[in-house]
């Protein structure tokens, strides 16, 4: 079955450490997205990518970085510059075209030790 795989499901970070969250999709979707979810705040867009080797900042990109070297993969790095990284991170993808809904992975929960 096609889908979006996020790993790991739970991740712990020490102060001053960078961590990378994985997102892989086998849906042959063109666009991929990273969202951050905090209690009571809904989902906020971190980065998105419409095609390979191209990506744009979303609303809360500071302290995060991404790459899009392959169509299937869109890893997110939470850098030490992100001072409040504890959150639930969701990856999504969508095929090319208007009015296409996004498909989501099961998320990664990041916590600070």
Partner 1 sequence: GDSVTQMEGPVTLSEEAFLTINCTYTATGYPSLFWYVQYPGEGLQLLLKATKADDKGSNKGFEATYRKETTSFHLEKGSVQVSDSAVYFCALLNSGGGADGLTFGKGTHLIIQP
Q: Interface with partner 1 by CB under 8 A: which residues?
A: 4, 6, 31, 33, 35, 40-43, 45, 48, 50, 56, 58, 90, 92, 98-107
The span from the CA of 92 to the CA of 79, in Å, is: 21
Q: Which is nearer to partner 1, 80 or 103 (CB)?
A: 103
Closest CB 2 distance from partner 1, rounded Å: 14
Minimum distance from residue 71 beta carbon to partner 1 (Å)? 16
Closer Cβ to partner 1, 18 or 96, answer by number: 96
Shorter beta-carbon distance to partner 1: residue 28 or 96: 96
Cβ at position 52, least distance to partner 1 in Å: 15
Which of 50/80 has CB closer to partner 1?
A: 50
CA 80 → CA 21, 77, 84, distances in Å?
14, 10, 9
Find out whether 90 and 100 touch, Cβ atoms under 8 Å.
no
Nearest-angstrom CA–CA distance, 34 and 108: 11
CA distance 33 to 102: 9
- CB-count exposure of residue 2 (10 Å: 0-12, 13-18, 19+): exposed
CB of 74 to partner 1, least distance (A): 13
């Amino acid at each position: 079955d096609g889908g979006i795989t996020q790993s790991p499901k739970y991740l712990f970070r020490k102060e001053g450490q960078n961590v990378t969250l994985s997102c892989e999709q086998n849906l042959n979707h063109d666009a991929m997205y990273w969202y951050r979810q905090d209690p009571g705040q809904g989902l906020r867009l971190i980065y998105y990518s419409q095609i390979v080797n191209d990506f744009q900042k979303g609303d809360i990109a500071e302290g995060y970085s991404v790459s899009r070297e392959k169509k299937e993969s869109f890893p997110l790095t939470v850098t030490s510059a992100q001072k409040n990284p504890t959150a639930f991170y969701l990856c999504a993808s969508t095929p090319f075209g208007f009015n296409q809904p996004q498909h989501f992975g099961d998320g990664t929960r990041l916590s600070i030790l």
